[in-house]
Amino acid sequence: MQKRVKNSPPITDEGLLMAKKKNNSRSALEALETSNNSSGPSSEIPNDGTPKKNERRFMVCHEILDTEQNYLTILNVLINTFKKPLKAIIESEGERDLLQANELNVLFRKIEPLIQVHENILQNLRRQVSDWKNTNLIGKIWADSAFDLEKFYPPYINCYDEMLATLDLCDANRPKFHAFLKQAEAKKECQKNSIRDLLIRPVQRIPSVLLLLQELQKRTERNNPDYPWVKGAVELLKGVLDKTNESRRRTENYQHFLEICQDIEGLPIALITSEREFVQSIDVVVLNAGGILHKFKGKTIGLFLFNDFVEVAKCRVYSSELSRSSSNLNSSFSGGNTSSGSGNTLPRQMSLSTLRRGASWKKDRHRYKHIKDYRFANFRSLEMEREHGVFIVKIRDEKADEMCFFYPTNGHTFDICVDFFENLIQRIKTTSTRDIVMEEVTKQQICDQRENRPEEVDGILKALSIAAELRSTGTVRRSSQLRRSVSQLHLRLSRIPSMKRTNALGNINE
């Protein structure tokens, strides 16, 4: 199985710019840029003969002030129109059907710290813009606030998906909560915005401010005392944006890591830590192996590459795989015949225990079962033989170095497996001084090494033979196959009496 993380897109300037273009109202900055170069000064700008660049600097600062005021209004609407009324109803009337206290906390817990930061920013912006001088330090306001922005925005962004999931779940399953939302969203202070529209505004705010500060930098002379502050604020807010995106990436990776771990039954708890990161996984058939993997010969296992170890887990059979295998493989005695009688036989590649496992599969059952976790140092050498699609991996087990032979399966192609082992090699190199490579070998090259390592060559050639059989028949013949065939023959014969009344020979005997 190879899961990929379904990643949310990072916060980008372009994404915000597209969102801003959807707004029907034109900003003061846009109006100025598209004006007809009128010589008459704006009524908001002092007629002191300042250059037009300074007029535009003022307009950008005014735009920053306006958007900050609007943004703070939105944050207060979330608290005053949604959170406080909900909390009051829950506490006074005990309306548990409306919303649980923990659900209320998930939806609104990260908003009030943002309000405190932006109230301080708004107060300073008002002071500077109302008493306007071209040398006022607008950039300093944002530079001084960068620490608090970096402190409070990543937690909000990280919880954003959880907030939406909680909102959707409660909206769909709590009729009283749904009715409350409709009434609250209809109020004039929401300005026809839904609660989802309001909750996304903090996600957009830092990119929005960054765009405006970059515009302010263009409109500020280099000899203006605010220029180094604006330039510094731009760099600091880029850092806030980068840290927010990185924090979100780590959160999403850890969530995906937990999903992978939950799919493996018996995975040691000590391996589940926030520092670990899932990289890639493949499913392979064990053609042959020594050590602990020897008893899994002919079975499918999953190899899970994490940032500091490889998990080996048994891949369980589930119903969809079972039906797919049944339709593709010939039954024991039908010889490929698809007549009505052949439907009463079991496929020769499948035992009764396999059938029972498939029939008893449940959706909540783990797809994999833990076998062994190996550190990178346990992988001693890697080779691949492309003609038969075989990977030759030497793994240091508890007692000795053991040869293991793997063949891709379950939709994982040879090239996907090559990519997996190349990723493993890269991580081995970055965590140690070992110079390890994955060598591509041919059958002839393997035979030429018989004198130097006869036992290993015999094992490799046997694995290549098994791979050829697997490719042609779709199964690995194991020593227990004869016993299974006998049991299937007995099952076949035991069913003959039940078909006697419809058998032509039965009519003759009568």
Nearest 10 degrees: Cα torsion 6, 11, 13, 16: 90
Alpha carbons 195 and 47: distance in angstroms, whole number = 43
Alpha carbons 389 and 417: distance in angstroms, whole number = 10
Alpha carbons 243 and 237: distance in angstroms, whole number = 10
- Name the strands in the sheet holding 278-289, side by side, starting at the edge strand that comes first in the sequence: 264-265, 368-375, 309-315, 300-306, 278-289, 401-408, 390-396, 379-385, 438-440
- Cβ-defined contacts of 338-346 (< 8 Å, 24+): 341/499, 344/492, 344/495, 344/499, 345/488, 345/492, 346/488, 346/491
The per-residue pLDDT for range 469-493, each reduced to its tens digit, is 888 876 665 555 545 554 554 555 4
- Can you give the pLDDT at residue 39? 33
DSSP string, 398-415: SSSEEEEEEEE-TT--HH
Place of tokens 């957009």: 204
The per-residue pLDDT for range 121-169, each reduced to its tens digit, is 999 999 999 999 999 999 999 999 999 999 999 999 999 989 999 999 9
- Can you give the pLDDT at residue 311? 96
Phi, psi of 165 (to 5 degrees): -65, -45
Residues of the chain falling short of pLDDT 50: 1-51, 319-362, 482, 486, 489, 493, 496-510
Alpha carbons 326 and 475: distance in angstroms, whole number = 12
- Looking at residue 316, what DSSP letter applies? P
pTM to 2 decimal places: 0.61
Alpha carbons 113 and 121: distance in angstroms, whole number = 13
- Can you give the pLDDT at residue 341? 44
For 315, the 3-state DSSP assignment is strand
| Residue 249 one-letter amino acid | R
Place of tokens 């042609």: 472
Which domains, ranges and CATH numbers included, belong to the chain? 13-32+46-259 (1.20.900.10), 267-316+366-494 (2.30.29.30)
Provide the CB-side half-sphere exposure for 202 (13 A, CA): 29
- Can you give the pLDDT at residue 156? 94
What count of residues does the chain have? Answer: 510
